[in-house]
Each structure stands twice: as structure tokens, then as C-alpha cells.
Chains A and B, each alone.
Chain A
Amino acid sequence: AILVNMARSKRATRGTYSPSAQEFCNPRVELDHVLKPPPEERLI
């Protein structure tokens, strides 16, 4: 199964920092609470 292989191949420590977030979340643009990255979930 693809998903399982993906899950296996994922590094266990994935940061969610990305410079593109800086572009997206422009500090002067008020983003709704929905658009805060949610706490990371892992598959068990």
C-alpha cells in the first residue's frame, strides 16, 4: 500500500517550518484561526 510505504519512508522528525509560510502568512494579513497549522498528527 502506497500510504504505508509513504509512512515508512517519512522521517520521524519532520519540521513544519517552511520559508514559504512567510510569504503566505504575511504578518499584516490577519489569518483566521483555522489557518494556523494544526498540531502535527502521526499515523499509528
Chain B
Amino acid sequence: DSTTPLPSTTETIPQTLPDHYGADNIKIIKIEKSTEPLGATIRNDGDAVVVGRVVRGGAADKSGLLHEGDDILEVNGIEMRGKSVNAVCDILAAMEGTLTFLIVPAAAQGRGHSGRDSVLHVKAHFDYDPEDDLFIPCRELGISFQKGDVLHIISQEDPNWWQAYREGEEDQTLAGLVPSQTFQHQRESMRLAASERYPRTQRKSTTLLCGKTPKRKKKKGTYAEGGYPMYANTVDEYEPEEILTYEEVALYYPRANNKRPIVLIGPPNIGRHELRQRLMEDSERFAAAIPHTSRARKDHEVDGQDYHFITRAQFEADILSRKFVEHGEYEKAYYGTSLDAIRSVVNSGKICVLNLHPQSLKILRTSDLKPYVVFVAPPSLEKLRQKKIRCGEAFKEEELKDIIEKAREMESKYGHFFDMIIINNDTERAYHQLLGEINSLEREPQWVPAAWVKAL
């Protein structure tokens, strides 16, 4: 986009200034307007109609003639001062062609479009609907987005309201408004502080309040696919509520010799195991990470093939040095999946498929392994029931409700880490959907945390 004024757009100092405005620095500017808005906002300031902001992509921005704080006196001879912004908005919406503005320019302050060229790419970690936002200065410019959406932030001039385009909608003429990171963080921390002082009775069971919730004891006896209970590295007994805003992302181009591990996350009994098995049938392409264990090797087992057999003392030392993505204890022996085991699959040129507890995502994401995280979600209760009947599996109604509840909890707590969600209503369909996604990972660039790319 060019900042040079359009040929038909001019700025002049009038010969005879209308003196009834009592201003001695009145300017006349001309901007060509189509049926689209010019791309500036106005606000009332007492009697005055003042430019609130100039929006990227519009005619006003391209002309470079209108600036925040400019006081609009007249447009095409129609007096604006004293009118409400709504009235002005209606009058201008009906205008087309050359618009002649009479303005008192704002005191020039550090103009010249700071950071015009640098775009910040972020992934949203929260849902946002401008219709529900009391604080957005201009609702008609608000962009709604959902957790996981990528936003291209093209202006951070207003510290509270960023101008942005949503990924996939870059062809929009005008940028939109989204809350800035600072503003969102501040707002949420206030909301939390308020709700802590005045706890609502209808609080979701998943919400932890600082210092209000007694430590939750981990339930023993939840079995992971490996047949032994898994506990993640991070002991998740009590975490203050984290405020999620945005995460900076960057494009990662696939590399043939560095395949991203696929991590399947989801509630138990949802079919993650079957999905993983289906993928692993293609053993040329997919492989599992070989787990470590402290139990004794059986005769038919091969070290480094079935398990990495290590001593109990070594295992405990490795836990402490954070070598494990997750680990657990079963019948007095440790079992675990190490970062190195995943890395060696990556180095062999294969795609590592992992079924992990969502708590393991943190350590995996801070590694160099660039995991691709797939959430395997249950369908609706009714569909889940039909699926169980179809597959001839016995079930209790309570179990189904429990699966759905667990999935909901996982999604609300870890949803911002998910790259993809598959609703597993039919294993075959889910498998093909997953495979299709994995295929496209090898061809197309993806948005990943910026830190992953900077570290390359």
C-alpha cells in the first residue's frame, strides 16, 4: 500500500478563511470517496467532531491527509460542528466523489506511520465478540475471532486497540479493531480480581481461584494407553488461573528431514489408541517413541527396541533433569517417554505419533520438537451412545457423560494449545481426516509459536 496521496486528493490553505470558527489554522483537504467508507472514525468532543483514528487500508489512510485529533468543521459546505457522530456518519455515508473537508488539524505529534512495515502475527488464545464488548471504541470495526485464530496486527499505535486483519481475510479493504494484549490482560486480571472478591455461586468446577481452592488430590488409578498410570512432569495440583491473550506466531515451512511429531490429546475411551494404531500400520512413515522403564528386561525383549531399560536410580535422575515428557509408575516400576526418544524418531525421518496427557504439552512445546497437537473430541452424547452401540461395546450412561465432561474440561484448559480438533464419531472417518491433515503438514507452511522459528 502506498502512502502517496492519490492524484485527485489535495490539501490547500484557503485564501479567505471562514473566521466564524475562530481558528487561524484552518485547512482544506479533498479526498475522493467511493461508496465505501473513507476509513476514519469520528468522535464527539463537546461540540466538536474529531477524528478518532485513521484505519489502515481506507481512502483516508492512503491520502495521508486526515489524522487523529483533526477537528472537522465542514464537509462539502455542510457544517459538522455541533452534530452528533451518528448524524455525521449518516450524512457522509450518502456522499460520493470529491469530499472537501474544512478541518482544524491536530497538533502534529510524531506522525509518519510508525511501524508501517512490521506486522505482528499472533494466535488468539481467547474468544472475542465485539458485540459483547462495552469497551471497544468503534463497534462497527470490531473483528470477532475464536481461540486459535491467527491475526495479523498491522498497527499498534493505539496502546489499547490494535488494528488487524484476520488470517484468510487479508483481502478486506479496511483493517478491524481487536483488543491489544495489554488491554486484554488488564481487563481479565480485573475481572479475576473482582470475581475473587465476589465469588459467583455458579462457578465452573474447572476454574481455580488463587488461594481459594483447596489443593486437589490427584486421583490414582487412571490408566493411560500403556496400561500404567501416567503423571506428567508438571505436578498440576494447583495453578493460579493463567490469563490468556495472544501468542506471537511465525510461518514454519515444512522440512523433509524434520517431521513434526503428532500428539493425540483427548479424554480416555475416545479412540485415540485406535487412531494411533491405524497410523502406525504405515511403519515406513510413522513410528512410536520407545519408552524407558526401570523394570527388569524379560527374555524376549530387546533393549532399545521394546524399551530402554535403565535402573531406578537413573530413571529418577532423568526425571529430575526433565528428560521425560511424561512418566508414571506401575507395579513399582517407572515408565516414561523421553524427549530424546521422540527426537530419535524425528532424526530417523519418520513421523512420531504420541498419545499424551495434556499436561505434557508444556514441556513438549518448550522443546525443539515442534509438536502438532490434535485434540480427539467426543461427538454429542446421543452420537456417542450410537457409536458405542454400533461398535458393540458395553457402556454405562455415566461413563459417556464423564467422557464428554472430561473433554470439555480439557478443551477449556488446554484448548489454546490445539492445532486441530477431530470429532471422533467414526474411527475410519477420523483417521482419514487426520491423515489428510498430516499430509498437508508436509506440503504447506503452518503458523507456529514464533520462538520455534527464531530458534532455528
Q: A14-B139, A35-B135 are in contact. Are A42 and B41 (CB under 8 A)?
A: yes
Q: Given A1-B174, A10-B139, A13-B86, do A35 and B37 touch, yes or no (CB 8 Å)?
A: no
CA distance A21 to B169 in the complex (A): 31
Are B134's CB and A21's CB within 8 A? yes
Would you give 5 A-B contacts (Cβ < 8 Å), ordered by A?
A2-B172, A37-B135, A38-B137, A43-B55, A44-B42
User: Do residues B186 and A24 form an inter-chain contact, with CB atoms below 8 A?
Assistant: no
Taking the closest CB of chain B, its distance from the CB of A2, in whole angstroms, is 7
Q: Determine whether the beta carbon of A41 is less than 8 Å from that of B135.
A: no
Secondary structure dominating the interface of B: mixed
Q: B37 to A4, Cβ gap below 8 A?
A: yes
Cβ of B194: which chain A residues have Cβ within 8 Å of it? 24, 26, 29
B residues in contact with A2, CB < 8 Å = 169, 172
Encoded as 1 (CB less than 8 Å from any A CB) or 0, chain B from 346 to 381 comes to 000000000000000000000000000000000000
Contact B53 A41 (CB under 8 A): yes
Where the two chains meet, the residues of A that have a C-beta atom closer than 8 Å to any C-beta of B are: 1-4, 6-8, 10, 12-14, 16, 18, 20-21, 24, 26, 28-29, 31-32, 34-35, 37-44
| CA gap between A20 and B36 in the complex, in Å | 34
With A12-B89, A26-B198 already in contact, the answer to whether A42 and B183 are too (CB < 8 A) is no
B190 in contact with A39 (CB, 8 Å): no
Are A44 and B193 in contact, with the CB atoms below 8 A?
no
Check A39–B43 contact: CB distance below 8 A: yes
Flag if B45 contacts A39 (CB, 8 Å): yes
Question: Chain B contact residues (Cβ within 8 angstroms of A): what range?
Answer: 35 or more
Identify B44's interface contact among A1, A10, A34, A39, CB under 8 A. A39
Partner of A41, one of B37, B92, B137, B186: B137
Tell me whether B86 and A12 are in contact (CB under 8 A). Answer: yes
Number of A-B contacts (CB under 8 A): 101
In the complex, chain B residues 124-171 whose Cβ is within 8 Å of any chain A Cβ: 132, 134-135, 137-141, 160, 169
* A41 and B134 within 8 A (CB): no
Besides the known contacts A1-B36, A34-B160, 4 further A-B residue pairs in the complex with CB atoms under 8 A apart: A16-B134, A37-B134, A43-B89, A44-B89
- Measured in the bound complex, the distance between the Cα atoms of B38 and A13 in whole Å is 20
Question: Do residues B52 and A1 form an inter-chain contact, with CB atoms below 8 A?
Answer: no
**B173 partner, pick from A1, A13, A37, beta carbons under 8 A:** A1
Tell whether B209 is near chain A: CB-to-CB under 8 Å. no
Q: Which residue of the partner chain, among A10, A32, A41, A44, contacts B190 with CB atoms under 8 Å?
A: A32
> In the complex, A23 Cα to B314 Cα: how many Å?
55
Residues of A within 8 A of B88 (CB): 42, 44
Any A CB within 8 A of the CB of B298: no
| Chain A residue with the shortest CB-CB distance to B141 | A43
A12 touches B183 (CB 8 A): no
**Minimum-distance CB pairs A-B, first 9:** A41-B41, A41-B138, A41-B52, A42-B89, A7-B140, A42-B85, A12-B86, A38-B137, A44-B92
| Partner among A18, A35, A42 whose Cβ is within 8 Å of the Cβ of B86 | A42
Instruction: Chain B residues near A13: list those with CB within 8 A.
Output: 86
Which residues of chain B (83-105) have a CB below 8 Å from chain A? Answer: 85-86, 88-90, 92-93
With beta carbons under 8 angstroms apart, the residue of A6, A8, A37, A41 that contacts B43 is: A41
A16 contact set on B, CB distance < 8 A: 134
Would you give the 0/1 interface string for B23-52, flagging 1 where the beta carbon is closer than 8 Å to chain A? 000000000000011111111110000001
Cβ contacts under 8 Å, A21 to chain B = 134
Contact B85 A34 (CB under 8 A): no
Which partner residue on chain A sits nearest B95 by CB separation?
A: A44
A32 CB → nearest B CB, Å: 7
With A12-B86, A41-B42 known to touch, is A6 a contact of B135 (CB < 8 Å)?
Answer: no
Kindly provide the distance from the CB of A41 to the nearest chain B CB, expressed in whole angstroms: 4
- CA of A12 to CA of B176 in the docked complex: distance in angstroms? 19
In the complex, the answer to whether B190 meets A31 with C-beta atoms within 8 Å is yes
Kindly list chain A residues whose C-beta atoms are within 8 Å of the C-beta of B86. 12-13, 42
A contact residues around B191 at 8 Å (CB): 24
Residues of A contacting B38 with CB < 8 Å?
Answer: 44
Complex Cα–Cα for A40 and B204 (A): 34
Assembled-state Cα–Cα distance A24/B21 (Å) = 42
